[in-house]
Structure 1
Amino acid sequence: MAREQFNDLLWFLVVAEERSFTRAAARIGISQSTLSHTIKRLETRMGVLLLNRTTRNVAPTEAGERLRQSLSPRIAEIEAEMAAIMEYRDKPAGRIRITLSDHALRTLVWPKLGRVLQDYPDLHVEFSVDSAFRNIVDGGFDAGIRLGESVEQDMVAVRIGPDWRLVAVAAPDYLAKRGIPEHPKDLVNHTCINIRQVAAGGLYAWEFEKDSQELRVRVDGQLTFNGSYEMVEAALLGYGIAYVPEDMVTDQIRAGTLQVVLDDWSQPFSGYYIYFPSRRQSLPAFRVVVDALRHR
């Protein structure tokens, strides 16, 4: 197979994973027009349509999905072998792609890795911030970082952070006008700041627990985000009650700009884990990342 044909297959795989020519072109580092021309050339050479294209979406056809499923594990094996060969270098090297939430990146992952990566200039880490629960193999990721309860069962998982909890917070002015909820069910009479779960396509139902009683409450309000930091900013401006990680609002609670409600209904749960296929744990560059993040 000519090198050009091999590159065409690699680029097709990226488009199939990203479901977008724009994101795929940015990931590869080429123009969108060049990528589109390359995929059309591949389809012409193979004599079969590989991607269904609409103005809003790109998805593999039946033939394209079969090709993707065939290519993906083989490319992963090649990358793993290349990374293993790099073990002969003086220092670990390679590229690692991680999918994680904005909260995990800002509060845990970057504070730990930021102190380590300067010692490994040939180790490149790409962070993909997303609240969805990605299939890391299908998505072309080396690892994912999620709460322990969300980790895929067939993956190796390493704990990287302590237990934490979500807390309901609101600006004092809002609570002075609307009152303080005494029970999670009272939230249906309050203006709340929602967060959308990208993977499920729906709004997150707030989860509470007290004395072994578990409750899920669907709330309503003017604003919906897909990131917790924006929820905090909206709560500070008085848009209602937000349900966010406690460590994000410690300073605001201490300063009195936000007030916790339903505190006794907010119980701690398992913290963040990094999870990955077992073949990754033997790679030197990957071990650097995992060891730096490991919870001690």
Structure 2
Amino acid sequence: MPRENINDLLAFLAVAQERSFTRAAGKLGVSQSALSHTIRALETRMGVRLLSRTTRSVSPTDAGERLLQTVRPRLEEIEAEIAAVSELGEKAMGAIRITAIDHVIDSVLWPRLAPVIAEYPDLRLELSADYRMVDIAAERFDIGVRYGDQVQKDMVAVRLTPEVPMTIVASPRYFETHKVPTCVRDLARHNCITIRLSSSGGLYAWELLDDGRKVDAKVSGQIIVNGAYQLLNAALSGYGLAFLPEELTQPHVEAGRLRRVLDEACPPFAGLHAYYPSHRNSSRALRIVIEAIRHRA
């Protein structure tokens, strides 16, 4: 196969997986027009249309889907073998891509990974903040980080934290005009700051205990955000109640900027886990990263 075909196939795979020329171009580090020209040239050489393009979306045709399903695994095998050969050397080389929630990257991953970057200059890390339940195999991430009860059964899971205490908080300013809730049912009468779920598009229901029973409390309020830091800032500004991990709220509670309520209704979340496919080759770079971020009692 001519070498340019391999490069063009990699370009096609990026567009087919991202379903976007813009995102694929950014990922590949090329211009959108250059990428479009590459795909058209590949289609011309193959004599078949690989992508269906509209003004709003890009998707593989039947031929493109077949190419995606057959060629991608083979190229991944080649990449894995190249990585395995590299492992015969003494250096930890290569890129490790990790997806996690923003505050987890800041509070858990980065403090543990910063020394690794300094120690292994040939190791590259990509940290992607995302609240979606990312398919790490399809989107070519090496590691995902989520709460333990969200990890799929066929994944290798490594604990990063013990159970995560949760809190419901609001600012003293908010309670100047609102009564303190005394039970979960009272939340229906409060301004609750909510999160829009990226995966489903719905609003997150608070996972609470009501007289010892697990309930998904469907709360509502004036403000909807899509991240923990925005949720915290809205609560600090006095706009309502927020449901957040204790590690984010406790410094503000101790400083008097937030007040905790309904502690008995807040069960801890399952600990955070790093996960990756069980069939993935364990490179030295991956082993170093996992060892750095794993939980130590």
- What is the correspondence of 1:53-132 to structure 2 with a 5 Å cutoff? 53-132=53-132
The residue number in structure 1 matching 2:255 is: 255
Q: Which residue of 1 aligns with 2:163?
A: 163
Counterpart in the other structure of 2:272:
272
Distance 1:48 1:239 in 2: 56
Retained in 2: the 8 A contact 1:17–1:140?
Answer: no
Deviation at 1:67, TM superposition (A): 1.8
How far apart are residue 57 of structure 1 and its match?
Answer: 3.0
Letter in 2 for 1:16: A
Aligned residue pairs, count: 296
Contact 1:281 1:287 in 2 (8 A): no
Percent pairwise identity: 50
Distance 2:140 2:23 in 1: 13
Distance 2:241 2:58 in 1: 37
1:141 corresponds in structure 2 to: 141
Q: Is the 8 A contact 1:72 1:138 kept in 2?
A: no
1:176 is aligned to 176
Alpha-carbon distance between aligned partners in 1 of 2:277 and 2:223, rounded to the nearest angstrom = 38
Unmatched segments (≥5 aa) in structure 2: none
Tell me the distance in 2 between the aligned counterparts of 1:78 and 1:234.
Answer: 48
Deviations 1:155-202 (A, max 9, x none): 111111121032111111112211111112211111111111111221
Unaligned runs of 5+ in 1: none
Which residue matches 1:22? 22
Per-residue CA distance 1:99-156 (angstroms, 9 max, x = gap)? 1111210110111001212111111111121100111111111121111101111111
Q: TM (normalized to structure 2)?
A: 0.95
| CA gap 1:118/1:237 in 2 versus in 1, 3 angstroms | same
Name which of structure 1's ranges 258-267 and 42-51 shifts more when overlaid on structure 2: 42-51
Q: Structure 1 33/218 Cα, relative in aligned 2: closer, same or farther at 3 Å?
A: same
State the distance in 2 between where 1:17 and 1:123 align.
25
Structure 1 residue matching 2:196: 3-state secondary structure: strand
Asked if residue 293 in structure 1 is aligned to residue 284 in structure 2, the reply is: no
Describe the SS at the equivalent of 2:13: helix
1:194: which partner in 2?
194
